Amino acid sequence: MKDEEQQILFETKSGKVKLAGCKSKMKITYGNMELEQSMHEFSYFQSAINSLYGYIKDVRQVYYRKFLIQLSKYKLSIILNAAEIIELYELLGGAKTMMDFEKIIDSALKEQESKRGPADEEES
């Protein structure tokens, strides 16, 4: 799939998240890793990162400690330190927020169009 066909949803200095496949998939690029996930898989991955982030913040972990994340679909294990967990938390959280904003805006536009009615459209 070409980059022009993918919409960058959120980007940080350490990675980016794109919408791919008619907005049914997410493409996560972080460091030297690139994953294409369904929305459900993205949600699961984000919740795992959120849990680790909460643990890091609660315990105030030292940044050299390593965390193992296993993604069975990809037969992939990722070892990340606390700083990388924080970066992924920001990246995935930002992407999720942008998806939520997009849903809110779409809903508001549809509501506004339904309030306009067919008579208003004929005058335009």
Residues 6+ apart with CB under 8 A from 92: 17, 28, 42, 45, 46, 49
**Is the predicted pLDDT of residue 4 greater than 70, yes or no?**
no
What is the band of 89 on the pLDDT scale with cuts at 50, 70, 90? very high
Is residue 91 within 8 A of residue 30, CB to CB? The reply is: yes
Q: What is the pLDDT of residues 26-73, one digit of tens each?
A: 999 998 899 998 888 898 899 989 998 988 887 765 656 788 888 777
Q: Provide the whole-model pTM.
A: 0.78
Is residue 27 within 8 A of residue 18, CB to CB? The reply is: yes
Q: For residues 71-90, give the mean pLDDT.
A: 86
- Residue 1: the pLDDT is 42
